[in-house]
Structure 1
């Protein structure tokens, strides 16, 4: 998007509002839970901030995807977990408290990790040996303004005016959901020809990446002997990404249409496998409650 008002003003403002709505649902106690369950959080951080970018990079190499689309997928892999991961965790009967804590921590850590990963991706996938100087300082400033500050404002409002914060949280969440849909639709519409010509390559890769990370997040948590609830949660938190942020970074910060397309596509397709996973885990819990053996392994008891 060529520096127009949509990419330079509307997209960042929409993302800031989405993060503000997330902040309304967070309290200092959500960060306090980290102290009580550090192992689950550390496994989640390892899966999301180390395993996900490495897996994405390896899959790009195997699939032979390079250039701008590869940069776009790496931007996506560097983003924090999507805000809807908390809803999917609830549907799956996972550990919602852990999901909230991880979402809060991921939003903060991303301010520092995303510029580094994107810098690497730009240099590695620029093509023809071209070296691209990533605006690390500018990206870090953008992360603070679009992620850290809105979340902090939302949390502050929830803390000082709990009644008001709780009253508007539901409405803000609905508005944020609509904004997310509009952002995806706008990105797809503006770049329809580019997306149509590459859909057969990008869509299968996006789905494969999502399914792989659902399995990796769940599997790593299970190997760490976390509970079934925590394993389900970390599977979702590892795979559900903030596609809106990926589009903003690609179109508003780096100012290239193609960088934003993987985020737009993944932001839609991740719900196909994400919802299937969530309802599959929910069904397994219902079977346990009905006295039938659970399908999914895990070390903990169902919610």
Structure 2
């Protein structure tokens, strides 16, 4: 994804600041919303969670390395902050969900049909808030910025899916990989930008 980002930046002749931003997007870990999308798409949620967790842990040292190699400048990462965020936003809710399912399965089963709607609305509000705070910069760059950002996510999904298919994986695993590859942690990206 970082190399794809760099290629798109060159293709669209982005300036150095936008190139750095696009490479940063390509380097980001999987977002927690990918787990929700995997659930909605009938993918392998356990695999999605493991991929998100692995890329989140890897982001603490890979983002500075990738930015140094591809851009010649390092991006400082707050490893302790990422660890705390992972615990708060990822591990605690996951553990709470597992405990609720174990000890209050009837209540959880009754609520399950609503979880996709609640998850999508919550995600839209959170991401929408972050985008709104940067809307003037996004609109000022126009399609020069919007096309490469859109393409990195679309091409990431296609690459994630087809790489798994070519590796002999089944449809569900491939779909999960495509979703996980294309959906990035908007929260970390917003903090680093």
TM-score (norm 2): 0.77
Q: Give yes or no for the alignment of 1:143 onto 2:143.
A: no
2:42 alignment partner, SS class: coil
Within a 5 Å distance, the mapping from 1:17-166 to structure 2 comes to 52-120=1-69, 123-124=71-72, 134-136=75-77, 139-148=78-87, 150-157=89-96, 162-163=102-103
**Contact map agreement 1:180 1:244 (CA 8 A) in 2:** no
Q: Give yes or no for the alignment of 1:248 onto 2:191.
A: yes
Q: Give yes or no for the alignment of 1:195 onto 2:134.
A: no
Alpha-carbon separation, structure 1, partners of 2:61 and 2:46: 24
Answer with 1 or 2: which has the greater Rg. 1
**Contact map agreement 1:86 1:99 (CA 8 A) in 2:** yes
Alpha-carbon separation, structure 2, partners of 1:179 and 1:65: 32
**Contact map agreement 1:94 1:229 (CA 8 A) in 2:** yes
**Cα distance change of structure 1 residues 189 and 91 upon mapping to structure 2, 3 Å threshold:** closer
Deviations 1:210-267 (A, max 9, x none): 12111111111111111121111111111111112211221xxxxxxxxxxxxxxxxx
Q: Which residue of 2 aligns with 1:212?
A: 155
**Contact map agreement 2:31 2:185 (CA 8 A) in 1:** yes
**Contact map agreement 2:36 2:119 (CA 8 A) in 1:** no
Within a 5 Å distance, the mapping from 1:224-303 to structure 2 comes to 224-250=167-193
**Contact map agreement 1:85 1:99 (CA 8 A) in 2:** yes
Deviations 1:168-215 (A, max 9, x none): x97999777556434433444343332222121111111211121111
Alpha-carbon separation, structure 1, partners of 2:155 and 2:133: 29
Unaligned runs of 5+ in 1: 1-51, 125-131, 251-303
**Contact map agreement 1:214 1:236 (CA 8 A) in 2:** yes
Aligned residues: 188
